[in-house]
Chains A and B, each alone.
Chain A
Amino acid sequence: MSLIQTKLTVNGYTHSLLVNADETLLFTLREQLYLTGTKEGCNQGSCGSCTVLINGKPVLSCMTPTLRCANKKITTIEGISGGETLHLVQKYLVSDGGLQCGFCTPGVVMTAVPYLEENPDVNRKEIKESLSGNLCRCTGYKKIIDAVENASKEMKK
């Protein structure tokens, strides 16, 4: 398959890349840019582990062709809070036990962060619904929901 030249802006830096026409954003991020914080859990669009932001909106990078991302702003887990401090969502996932094996966690962060930024006033039911695309097999979700709720409370302060 012939390679196509494209530009990809990830976490504020623009890369010039050669990609396959059917290459997914997940593959490009992990294999070309070595941004391995984004995880491949199913490659079928059903577990949410590969969630990244495109222009601030969460998308499943395993279902997104890289060529569709030219001229768009991509943010991965490595780009959250500039990669330097913990976002409140991350802070509470850590302190509230909202992660165990941690494999789904980057996807949870990439779903919850934009959600709380757009919806400062949320209740538990809404948080549950917002995370309904993120499969976690360890926690039973309770402590993830606790963490997002605590983050939202602190963000409102």
Chain B
Amino acid sequence: MKGPIGRRTPFIDAIDKATGQAMYTDDYKFPNMLFVRFLRSTKSHAKIKSLDITEAESYPGVVAIATGEDLPISFGVLPTSPDETAMAVKKVRYQGEIVAAVAAETIESAQLGVEKIKIEYESITEFITPQDSLHKCEPDEQIHPHTKNNKNIHKIAELRFNEPEKEIKSASHIQTGKFKFAGVTHAFTEPHSTLAIWNRDETLTVISATQVPHYLHINLSKVLELPLHKIQVKKPSLGGGFGGKSDPFPHEMITSFLAIKTKRPVKCTFSREEVFITHHGRHPTEMSMSISCDDDGKLTALDTDIIIDGGAYGSFGVVTSYYNGVLLQGPYKIDKFGFRTQRAYTNKHQCGAMRGHGAVNPRYAVETLLDMMAYDLKIDPCELRERNFLPENSFTVGEFRITSNGIRDCINTVREKSDWDKKYGKLPFGSGLGVACGFFISGSALPILWNRYPQTVVHAKLDFDGRVVIFSGASDIGQGSDTMLVQIAAEELGIPMEYVQVEVADTKITPVDLGSYSSRVTFMVGNATKTATSNLRNEIAIAIAKEKNVSVNDLYFEDCRVITKNKSVDLSWMEAVEIAMAGRGAFLESGFYISPKLGGKFKGAGAGLSPAYSFGAFISEVNVHPKTGEVNVVKVWGAHDCGKALNPLSVEGQIEGSIHMGLGQAVSEEMWYKNGQQMNANFLDYRIPYSVDTPDMDITIIESNDPEGPYGAKEAGEGPIHPVLPSIGNAVYDAVGVRMMELPITPDKVLKKLKEKV
């Protein structure tokens, strides 16, 4: 390929970001704009006995107030669990839930207005832990009325293939473990922010820090009872998402409502504490898991029982429940396979999707048990894994279709680069190496919304100026999807990237894309962009072929020219554009992506289906201080099969960022609660790795060239996080001989285990 595909390409908006010129939601200001602050619940579970806004309404500067009764229609990202309202209606379900909102001339007067609202609560029994929620309770104690059997269980996801429990009972080699994972959060640097404008033509424009403009569009329409065609959602530059901005949010509904009510622009930007309280992060999880294998180390069965703490609302929880199980079907071949996940509603802020959605915690468990198995069977942990890899072009037990698969290259690469064979099991006490693998979806084959539309549509427009504009709903959240669109268009048309510009993530202008989640954008939007721009190339070629009397197939688009091999046609790009547009003017070509029909016929077969899966293997080296229990990750070798790296610079960035986030969850990050309230809603107490904590990283991109990915590409944004955590946990075992079954691996836990060992 001669064009930019495969080339290390700085992001097209990188200079704007490096100079502070990129505009994020909170950077926008409109004339006559109001500011919103919220009254938030101080109770975990309580009826609202009374809510008095009269004093607040007359407070200087206060223009409008909204309460739960104003927006009673429930919503949610999944049509199966629209269980949330914009503000609490009649009762509150967690500390921090929005009860009322004040729009005022300044942020200060909005806050002071909030403080004038009088509210009285009547407490209801609180369900703080998921175990509390599994028990029967009185009907009026239920967190939500729709849960069954007077329990607060939101979802039970269960699939079983070939009776794994029988195999595990009788197998000669079994490993069993109980694992516990603290909740962690995305901690993107840009706080949530939304700006809403009620236009003179009675349409609503919402600028918001969202990963999912389309779902926001749909849910705004539902909650505000405003027709879809009257709503425009725009995503400007966005300061990180990682799944934390992939739901439609209450503050987006409320800000929009207040803009309509006041007929003035209204902006709301969260404090960092509010970002933590809003959460939607990784579920606190407890699981027991068993695996079995034969004398050769071939895995025969996996069975696991999982409880995830969902918090007060559904969010992506139904999907999370399934992903905890189904995403364990790879990268190893396991024919007897079962899981049950129970998602409990609790009176805490809600959990949802976070990088590596659903599979990060159970992946830690699988890889830890495999390590234990390897140790018991005296088989090298890399070797044991190699004996069990799924082959390419195969099916998993739950009928996932595996196409390209570079897992063997991944593990061989990190094994060699880390000097594994010389170092594993041989480093002095306190130092150790650990290995783990992972796999992940490249987009969900089944979209969230059941309709007959494609998962994405891309338009490519050519005009007299020679510029190609790509119109796509894809949401660049910092991962660089805008750059990917430009690279593909330039590649297909043989023109420099500077000829291509994007109009993105604006539901009035750009065709629908479902959003930036489930690692779907490169695969799906990339394919659609490739189709749109190759259609554009064909249209140009047809016009030139006709005018120059040559065959369309003889025309080549390269180096900003359109030529035939014998140079009978040798046109500059602008000359080609002029011919293409003669008699018709600017034109537009379209491309779309729909997943092939995949999967089995059983209930739950759709969860985790993807047109392609990424694979990876990581090795971590750690030092564990035997006196302090501190785990220091020295170096991480990561090899990830992303099919084809359209932009290696950006793929490396995704892998390195995954190491950062995985390291945080492994050794330091955790949400602390007291009676349902988060106690560490700030960056000082919620310990994210800083630059000094970052290990050396050695990244290898493995290119397996997927048959259906654009130029062979698969995902790279989420898959790499899975192996990071267990590779660290396994390295701790190699270093000091203790198995860490609870995350994060904090010094106190290591010391306790070390003491137990002695």
Measured CB to CB, the residues of A under 8 A from B are 34-44, 46-47, 49, 76-78, 80, 83, 86, 90, 93-97, 99-106, 109, 127-129, 131-145
Contacts and interface: CB of A to CB of B under 8 A. Distances in A.
A140 B694 contact: yes
Nearest to B22: A102
B242 A37 contact: no
B691 A145 contact: yes
16 contacts: A35-B20, A36-B27, A40-B26, A83-B19, A97-B650, A101-B17, A101-B188, A101-B477, A102-B239, A103-B24, A103-B189, A109-B18, A134-B691, A136-B660, A137-B688, A140-B657
B237 A100 contact: no
A142 B271 CA distance: 28
Contacts of B682: 42, 44, 46
A109 B17 CA distance: 11
Contact of B691 (A40, A76, A96, A128): A128
Interface string B411-452: 000000000000000000000000000000000000000000
Interface in B605-655: 649-650, 652-653
B683 A86 contact: no
Given A103-B240, A137-B242, A137-B660, A97 B649 contact: yes
A141 B237 CA distance: 20
B312 to A, nearest CB: 25
A41 B191 contact: yes
A50 B261 CA distance: 34
B691 A131 contact: yes
Interface stretch (B8-16, B94-102, B344-352): B8-16
B238 interface: yes
B51 interface: no
Nearest to A107: B189
Nearest to A44: B682
Nearest to B27: A36
B40 interface: no
A99 B14 contact: yes
Interface residues of B, number: 55
B479 interface: yes
Contacts of A144: 691
B18 A103 contact: no
A93 B189 contact: no
B190 interface: yes
A7 B50 CA distance: 48
Given A44-B683, A102-B239, A97 B652 contact: yes
Nearest to B15: A94
B29 to A, nearest CB: 7
Contacts of B480: 100
B477 A40 contact: no
Nearest to A49: B189
A77 B656 contact: no
Nearest to A145: B691
B661 interface: yes
Nearest to B664: A137
B20 A139 contact: no
A107 to B, nearest CB: 9
Nearest to B683: A46
Nearest to B685: A46
B54 to A, nearest CB: 25
Contact of B657 (A90, A127, A139): A139
Given A41-B190, A103-B189, A129-B692, 12 more contacts: A37-B20, A83-B19, A94-B14, A95-B10, A99-B14, A100-B478, A101-B240, A103-B190, A128-B692, A131-B691, A138-B240, A141-B691
Contacts of A96: 649
A111 to B, nearest CB: 10
B688 A135 contact: yes
Contacts of B23: 36
B690 interface: yes
A144 B161 CA distance: 47
Given A101-B238, A145-B691, A138 B684 contact: no
A137 B691 contact: no
A132 B694 CA distance: 10
B506 to A, nearest CB: 19
A127 B692 CA distance: 9
B664 to A, nearest CB: 9
A97 B653 contact: yes
B709 to A, nearest CB: 22
Given A41-B189, A100-B657, A103-B239, A86 B272 contact: no
B189 A132 contact: no
The 3 closest A-B pairs by CB, nearest first: A37-B20, A101-B478, A102-B17
B691 to A, nearest CB: 4
Contacts of A103: 24, 188-190, 239-240, 478
B240 A137 contact: yes
B18 A43 contact: no
A128 B11 CA distance: 24
Nearest to A128: B691
A77 B19 contact: yes
Contact of A86 (B19, B191, B271): B19
B17 A99 contact: yes
Contacts of A39: 24, 189-190, 239
B15 A140 contact: no
Contact of A140 (B29, B659, B692): B659
A101 B137 CA distance: 45
Contact of B20 (A44, A77, A101): A77
Contact of A102 (B8, B18, B658): B18
A104 B189 contact: yes
A138 B20 contact: no
B298 to A, nearest CB: 36
A102 B240 CA distance: 8
Given A100-B653, A142-B656, A78 B20 contact: yes
A33 to B, nearest CB: 12
Contacts of B691: 127-129, 131-132, 134, 136, 141, 144-145
Contact of B272 (A43, A101, A106): A43
Interface string B658-686: 11110000000000000000000011100
A139 B697 CA distance: 12
Given A39-B190, A145-B691, A46 B684 contact: yes
Given A47-B683, A141-B660, A105 B478 contact: no
B486 to A, nearest CB: 15
Contacts of A77: 19-20
Given A101-B188, A102-B237, A137-B661, A142 B694 contact: yes
Given A41-B190, A105-B17, A138 B237 contact: no
Of the candidates A36, A44, A141, the one having the most CB atoms from chain B within 10 angstroms of its own CB is: A141
A134 B683 CA distance: 11
B421 to A, nearest CB: 26
Given A36-B27, A78-B20, A140 B656 contact: yes
B18 A99 contact: yes
Contacts of A38: 20
